[in-house]
Amino acid sequence: MKTVLLLLAAGSGSRMGLKQNKVFLSLGGKSVLQRSMEAFVPFADEIIVLHRPGEEEAAGAETEKVPFSGVLRLVPGGADRQDSVENGLSRSGCRPEDLILIHDSARCLVSPGLIRRVRDAALEKGASIPGLPATNTIKVCREDQVLQTPDRSLLYEIQTPQACRADWLLQAFARARGDGFRGTDDASLLEHAGFPVAVVRGERNNIKLTTGEDIRMAESILGLSRLPRVGHGYDVHRFAEDRKLILCGVEIPWEKGLLGHSDADVAVHALMDAMLGAAGLGDIGLHFPDTDPRYEGISSLLLLKETVRLLQANGYELLNADLTIAAQKPKLRPYIARMTETLAAALGVDPSRLNVKATTTEGLGFEGRMEGISAQAVCLILPVTAEGTPAAP
């Protein structure tokens, strides 16, 4: 008998406001996916990572960080959880007597004790899931109308990992396909097929990372201090004919503009990169790719506002930023005050938190040859408390 882990990593970060898969977020220097996989290494003979289509390379880079002597497979996930698990089962080559563990990689704080309890119960009874008794009153509602109040003593909040004999799980999926049944978790398919499912004690710390608040809770559980974070951004755009010159959201009267997919506001782009970098959220190319027609000709101030929202969704607020624009021409000093005020309005901060500078390169480099403009930005972001106020440095 072997134990096969199906590790679900084909979700997204949409409810966190992210434009990347949340399993690649870093917690204390390790990605969510890496932490989840590490937890199961002592228990699994084979691990199948169900990744989002197109993310095999990124998923592989994270799994390579985990020492594992068993069989590792990277398999594209499906349209939903049920399809992803079925994809994994089809690639596992499992035998009827094998044990299948299924886990949401977003529950990266799962403990060895919980994994062991679920596994042992499934070995004894055929299938098991972890659950926590409901502590709040639950109402069944339709829109804004209460329909009924079920008996709370019968209600459990179900977690993963979920475990089952391979032959039971394969039969349950075949039955679901035949009936057109769609379940919300793996146990619901077993229930539909008539198999008994045991419940073992879950854990409060086995949270599923869904919102920015969940990330902050996970960091607290791990004992990670949320300190102020510094980000640096750099961008450059070449000059082009028949383009407006936009810097910090302000149109500068001059004979040329900057070339780019959006309005090519090089200063705002540098600031966005600094903010995203400080929060560990990648860069503007990840969130606002120049291959996306939605961003063609768009004002970079709109992208800046979206960057602010991304920071807020992940529990951070901009404290201050310092920008330097390098351009031989035109002279930018007359526009600095307007640039600062425009940026402050887009960021939703007091102008005193911003500093915008302009410099030349004394005729050196591409800026000195007047081929384009570059910009650099440094920013400091602070974690926001549960009450929504910046934490003290």
Q: Per residue in 375-391, pLDDT tens?
A: 999 999 998 754 444 55
Say how many C-beta atoms besides its own lie within 10 A of residue 252's C-beta.
18
Q: Which two tokens stand for residue 361?
A: 């390169």
**Would you state the pLDDT for residue 13?**
65
Q: Which two tokens stand for residue 284?
A: 């503007």
- Closest by alpha carbon to 50, among 3, 103, 96? 103
Q: How do residues 158-207 score in pLDDT, each as one tens digit?
A: 999 999 999 999 999 999 999 999 999 999 999 999 999 999 999 999 99
Sign of CA pseudo-dihedral 156, 87, 114, 26: negative
Long-range interactions of 301-309: CB distance < 8 A, separation 24+ = 301/249, 301/265, 301/268, 301/342, 301/346, 303/262, 303/268, 303/272, 304/268, 304/271, 304/272, 304/343, 304/346, 304/347, 305/346, 305/347, 307/272, 307/275, 307/276, 308/275, 308/346, 308/347, 308/348, 309/17
Higher pLDDT: 383 or 352? It is 352
Please report which helix (H) or strand (E) contains residue 203, including its range. Answer: none
Structural domain boundaries in the chain: 3-211, 229-383
pLDDT at 15 over 80: no
Question: In the chain, what is the greatest distance between 2 CA atoms, to the nearest angstrom?
Answer: 79
Question: Got the DSSP string for 152-190?
Answer: GGG-EEE-S-EEEEHHHHHHHHHHHHHHT---SSHHHHH
CATH code at 3-211: 3.90.550.10
**Would you state the pLDDT for residue 122?**
98
CA dihedral 214, 8, 110, 196 (to 10 degrees): 120
pLDDT at 238 over 50: yes
Q: Measure the CA–CA gap between 96 and 103, rounded to whole angstroms.
A: 20
Q: How do residues 150-160 score in pLDDT, each as one tens digit?
A: 999 999 999 99
**Would you state the pLDDT for residue 186?**
94
Residue pair 176/193 in contact by the 8 Å Cβ criterion: yes
The interaxial angle of helices 81-92 and 166-179, nearest 10 deg, is 130
Q: How do residues 28-75 score in pLDDT, each as one tens digit?
A: 888 999 999 999 999 999 999 999 999 999 999 999 999 999 999 999
Q: How do residues 74-126 score in pLDDT, each as one tens digit?
A: 999 999 999 999 999 999 989 999 999 999 999 999 999 999 999 999 999 99
CA dihedral 155, 157, 161, 167 (to 10 degrees): 30
CA distances from 328 to 233, 280, 332, 345 (A): 20, 33, 10, 28
Residue pair 236/326 in contact by the 8 Å Cβ criterion: no
- Output DSSP code: residue 126: S
Q: Measure the CA–CA gap between 177 and 171, rounded to whole angstroms.
A: 10
137 Cβ neighbours under 8 A, 6+ residues apart = 149, 152
The three-class DSSP label of residue 28 is coil
Residue pair 40/101 in contact by the 8 Å Cβ criterion: yes
First to last CA, the chain: 53
**Would you state the pLDDT for residue 314?**
80
Half-sphere exposure of 280 (CA within 13 A, CB side): 19
The interaxial angle of helices 266-278 and 300-313, nearest 10 deg, is 10
Q: In CATH, what class is 229-383?
A: alpha beta
Output the pTM of the full model.
Answer: 0.68
* H-state helical runs in 288-384: 300-313, 336-347, 365-368
